[in-house]
A and B are shown apart, each in its own frame.
Chain A
């Protein structure tokens, strides 16, 4: 999974974390029929935290704990 997080874009090498900082919290907000709400962005942060938690759990289990 961390390999995916660091995967390079074809043209520009960008860390996904840097991109998500910007596309989720930045950009002009026009209220279309679908617009990311603060709650949606929080949801992404929850998913990211869950990923971190499961990754560190995996690390611990791999290191023999």
Chain B
């Protein structure tokens, strides 16, 4: 069976307490184990290539139930590893190697990147802040504009004028929302070592009302975590028509890449 199995990678850690991983199971319920290369520890579990090989994986990714279960299993191991190590770099979902030698080879070849990522993440935690804007509150339309002209003009003219007012109210709301989001991100990023904006979430997927104008991730010194939470409370109270949501602590998914620092703008 050796030729039909691969190793699914979860995270690369430094000073990992392997006892804390005892009994831990990853994707497809397989037990996790550790592959070491001179001070770096990769956490891995065996996966069947019939399900997790390149081709089947592509098919399975289209199955949201499969994706949900796999993403949660991956995250559960990454979270446990993070708590059991001085620092841990999470791996992108679905990184599979053929054999432990290949894992050691990757650790050796990417050592400089991994070391610098570990240095960045040590003593810091990722937090998420999402901002939802209420379009109506942000437009703060003057009622006189929407009431339409009284008397003359006819229904058609009244409709057109009303429609024009609605459109400009929407534009105003969008401008306000973007300005609020930029200010929020700027203030939160000032508290963080690194910051990044994920693309806004679709309200139908998140189940949340309002425009998701900010979907930010912030890598914050552990000593400053309270300060970040306080800033979220304060900004949420200050900005009318915007609701803030703090998520985390997260494994540092958003700051593990070597493209860190390059801020990703919403698509």
Contact = CB atoms under 8 A, between A and B. Distances in A.
Interface of A: 1-2, 4-7, 9, 11-12, 14-36, 40, 43-44, 47-48, 51-52, 55-56
Given A23-B74, A40-B61, 4 more contacts: A9-B76, A18-B128, A26-B253, A28-B89
B61 A4 contact: no
Q: Which of B62, B198, B204, B207 has the most CB of A within 10 A?
A: B204
Contacts of B54: 33-34
B144 interface: no
B193 interface: no
B76 A33 contact: no
B62 A27 contact: no
Contact of A26 (B6, B96, B205, B257): B257
A27 B68 contact: no
A27 B93 contact: yes
Contacts of A56: 204
Contacts of A15: 206, 247
Nearest to A20: B71
A17 to B, nearest CB: 5
Contacts of B257: 26-29
Interface stretch (B106-114, B135-143, B235-243): B106-114
Interface range, B side: 35 or more
A33 B201 CA distance: 31
Contacts of A22: 198, 217, 250-251, 253-254
27 contacts: A4-B68, A7-B68, A14-B75, A16-B68, A18-B247, A19-B71, A20-B71, A21-B215, A22-B217, A23-B74, A25-B264, A26-B255, A27-B93, A27-B253, A28-B89, A28-B113, A29-B258, A32-B97, A32-B98, A34-B6, A34-B94, A36-B94, A40-B57, A40-B94, A43-B61, A48-B64, A52-B204
Contacts of A47: 61-64, 67
Nearest to A13: B247
A27 B92 contact: yes
A30 B95 contact: yes
Contacts of A28: 12, 89-92, 110, 113-114, 117, 256-258
A40 B92 CA distance: 12
Contact of B64 (A6, A23, A51): A51
Interface in B93-149: 93-98, 102, 106, 110, 113-114, 117, 128
A32 B72 contact: no
Contacts of B253: 22-23, 26-27
B92 A36 contact: yes
B206 A17 contact: yes
Interface string B50-82: 001110011001111101100110111001000
B233 interface: no
Nearest to A30: B106
B9 interface: yes
Nearest to A33: B98
A11 B215 CA distance: 23
